[in-house]
């Protein structure tokens, strides 16, 4: 039904917003030889605030249900949005990350946004593998590409990594390795925790030093444009 209003996540506003349904088609289905049924509804919806348009797939299946507090059960209705919308915004580093990386390192920015796309699609294993690569990038680029990951972390301790951070970083790297090599599927919470750890490392070793360099240049420019102090004449 077009014109219908609903609340849905807006990837531009970054939260749940009122939306208007521009177009909608429902496809209910059932099996003739088994008591199961379901429904797929495809719709085009538009945010009532910023006018961003999303494609929405709402679906349920009679065998996919959860227990309710009163002892009954209810069928779970899933809603998938396209383009995939991760439940949190990327950090507002913008140009800061661009300036903090060399031209050869710019691929990291693409990987960072790919991780958000994977999280939006609930592809937590892929996100974890990508986050592991981000963590490895920061640690290896700042500590030198030799020795084991633990050796690199130990060297990073001399560049400001605390003992607690060393353990946290190692935990994030190991969770990514488990996803890549040991068949581990992280939960959404674990994937976001790993991302927090990776982004904190970026802030500490790339964003903050780059901003400090910029502030130093600004201070030099400020000093150059400031008239020098005039020395008071000496008393006769």
Binding segment for Zn ion (CB under 5 A), chosen from 18-26, 32-40, 43-51, 167-175, is 43-51
13 sits near Zn ion (criterion: CB under 5 A): yes
Which one of 44-52, 147-155, 159-167, 201-209 is the stretch in contact with Zn ion (CB under 5 A)?
A: 44-52
Closer to Zn ion by CB, 17 or 184: give it.
17
As a whole number of angstroms, the distance between CA 147 and CA 19 comes to: 53
Min. distance of Cβ 50 from Zn ion in angstroms?
3
User: Please, what is the minimum distance in Å from the beta carbon of residue 22 to Zn ion?
Assistant: 14
CB of 19 to Zn ion, least distance (A): 8
State the chain's maximal CA–CA distance in angstroms.
Answer: 113
Phi, psi at 55, each rounded to 5°: -105, 135
Q: How far is CA 81 from CA 10, 78, 115, 122, 177, in A?
A: 9, 10, 17, 11, 29
What is the token pair recorded at 146? 């030799």
CB atoms within 10 A of CB 18: 13
Q: How far apart are CA 152 and CA 138, in angstroms?
A: 10
Whether cis (ω within 30° of 0) applies to the bond prior to 83 is: yes
Residue 84 contacts residue 120 (beta carbons within 8 Å): yes
- Minimum CB distance to Zn ion, residue 46 (Å): 9
φ and ψ at residue 115, rounded to 5 degrees: -65, -40
Q: Which is nearer to Zn ion, 52 or 141 (CB)?
A: 52
Give the H or E element holding residue 125.
helix 124-143
| 48 lies in the site for Zn ion, by CB under 5 A | no
Task: Please select the residue that binds Zn ion; options are 45, 47, 97, 118, rule is CB under 5 A.
Answer: 47
For residue 61, give the nearest of 36, 26, 31 by alpha carbon: 36
Q: List Cβ neighbours of 45 (8 Å cut-off, separation of 6 or more).
A: 6, 8, 19, 20, 21, 22, 53, 54, 55, 56
User: At its nearest, how many Å lie between Zn ion and the CB of residue 196?
Assistant: 25
Residue 10 in the binding site for Zn ion (CB under 5 A) = yes
End-to-end, the C-alpha distance of the chain in Å comes to 94
Q: Which of 2, 4, 6, 12 binds Zn ion (CB under 5 A)?
A: 12
> 14, 15, 28, 49: which one contacts Zn ion (CB under 5 A)?
49
Between 17 and 36, how does the x/- string for binding to Zn ion read (CB under 5 A)? x-------------------
- For the bound state, the minimum distance from the C-beta of residue 89 to Zn ion, rounded and expressed in Å, comes to 12
In the complex, minimum distance from the CB of residue 24 to Zn ion, in angstroms, rounded to a whole number: 19
Q: Which is nearer to Zn ion, 55 or 73 (CB)?
A: 55
Given the complex with Zn ion, which of 45 and 197 has the nearer CB atom?
A: 45
Q: Does 50 contact Zn ion by CB under 5 A?
A: yes
- Applying CB under 5 A, the residues found at the interface with Zn ion are 10, 12-13, 17, 47, 49-50, 52
């Amino acid at each position: 039904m077009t014109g219908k209003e609903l609340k849905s996540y807006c990837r531009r506003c970054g939260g749940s917003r009122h939306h208007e349904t521009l177009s909608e088609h429902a496809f209910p289905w059932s099996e003739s030889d088994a008591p199961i049924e379901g429904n797929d509804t495809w719709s085009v919806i538009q945010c009532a605030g910023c006018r961003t348009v999303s494609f929405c797939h709402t679906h349920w299946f009679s065998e996919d249900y959860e227990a309710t507090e009163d002892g009954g059960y209810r069928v779970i209705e899933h809603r998938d949005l396209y383009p995939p919308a991760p439940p949190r915004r990327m950090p507002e580093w913008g140009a800061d990350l661009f300036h903090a990386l060399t031209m050869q390192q710019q691929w990291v920015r693409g990987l960072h946004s790919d991780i958000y796309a994977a999280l939006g699609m609930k592809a937590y294993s892929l996100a974890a593998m990508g986050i592991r690569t981000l963590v490895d990038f920061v640690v290896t680029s700042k500590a030198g590409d030799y020795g084991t990951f633990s050796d690199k972390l130990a060297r990073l301790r001399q560049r400001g990594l605390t003992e607690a951070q060393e353990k946290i970083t190692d935990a994030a790297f190991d969770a990514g390795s488990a996803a890549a090599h040991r068949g581990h599927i992280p939960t959404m919470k674990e994937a976001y925790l790993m991302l927090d750890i990776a982004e904190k490392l970026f802030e500490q070793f790339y964003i903050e030093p780059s901003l400090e360099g910029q502030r130093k240049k600004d201070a030099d420019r400020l000093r150059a444009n400031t008239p020098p102090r005039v020395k008071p004449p000496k008393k006769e």
